[in-house]
Amino acid sequence: MSGDDDAVPGVIDTGMVLAAGLGKRMRPITDTLPKPLVTVAGRTMLDHALDRLAQAGIARAVVNVHHLADSIEAHLAARTGAPAITISDERDALLETGGGIRRALPLLGASPFLAMNADTLWIEGPHSNLRRLIEAYDPARMDMLLLLAPVADAVGYEGQGDFNMDARGRLSRRPEHLQAPFIYAGAGIAHAGLFADTPDGAFSLNLLFDRAIDAGRLYGLRLDGEWLHVGTPDAIAEAEAHIARAR
């Protein structure tokens, strides 16, 4: 295998970037600029996400759009290189994470795919975390495999975490009023069959997370590197400082 930045073929070669959200916590920036086009360390968050997909060997990506959709489409039209991009148009209604993927299923195809939030950002460890995710995915055991960031190492995050993970990588929800050691890092692998009986319209991926937990088939992979929570305008400078130190 060649260097970590070289794309490699694999059974998962399709991705989806969720770029339709309103970015309310990033206001007033997002009143006129969609959050995926906010620049962090000289590159938009959307380009950071697409670059990660390309480095992991993803040949084509679907990007959904709603808020300030024209701006995102224009930006993507000017982008060159992998992955090849198709737009899933949600101008008519904001569908949340689950509903957005469900609408895009005809574009994604029947094979497992990698889904990623446009505003998720991390500093890589020695290897591509998305490639690690692809290599760890086992459809015989897993309905979904999520990339997880340790709460203790997360930059700009002040929440209580999302999941506990056992020694085999199987996930359970954080009990109410308690803390959990891992946060969903905004990337995971799923397949079209999971959406067979999901609601019409808007719904969250949390519905599918909970179904997979009930079936004992939601798994996690610990992020190798440093996860950056860029949720507010003030968080941009903190993220950029950490990126600069890592270079």
Element housing 195 (H / E): none
pLDDT digits (tens, 9 = 90+) for 139-160: 999 999 999 999 988 988 888 9
Identity of the residue numbered 20: A
Task: Please list, in sequence order, all residues whose beta carbon lies within 8 angstroms of the beta carbon of residue 197, skipping any fewer than 6 positions away.
Answer: none
Phi and psi of 107, rounded to 5°? -85, -25
DSSP-based three-state secondary structure for 60 = strand
- Give me the CATH topology for the region 14-246: Spore Coat Polysaccharide Biosynthesis Protein SpsA; Chain A (3.90.550)
| DSSP string of 139-154, one letter each residue | TTT-SEEEEEEEGGG-
Structure confidence at residue 67 (pLDDT): 93
> What pLDDT is attached to residue 110?
87
> Between these two residues, 4 and 245, which has the higher pLDDT value?
245
Q: Which helix (H) or strand (E) holds 212?
A: helix 206-214
Contact between residue 209 and residue 169 where contact means Cβ atoms under 8 Å apart:
no
Nearest residue to 227 (alpha-carbon basis) of 173, 160, 154, 140: 154
- Give, in order, the Cα–Cα distances in Å from 236 to each of 20, 29, 43, 45, 233: 20, 11, 12, 11, 6
**CA 6 and chain centroid, separation:** 20
Hey, where are the domains in the chain?
14-246
pLDDT at 16: 97
Query: pLDDT per residue over 52-86, tens digit each?
Result: 999 999 999 999 999 999 999 999 999 998 899 99
Report yes or no: 14 and 60 within 8 Å, Cβ to Cβ.
Answer: yes
Q: 0.85 exceeded by the pTM?
A: yes
58, 12 Cβ separation under 8 angstroms = yes
- Contact yes or no for 144/217 (Cβ under 8 A): yes
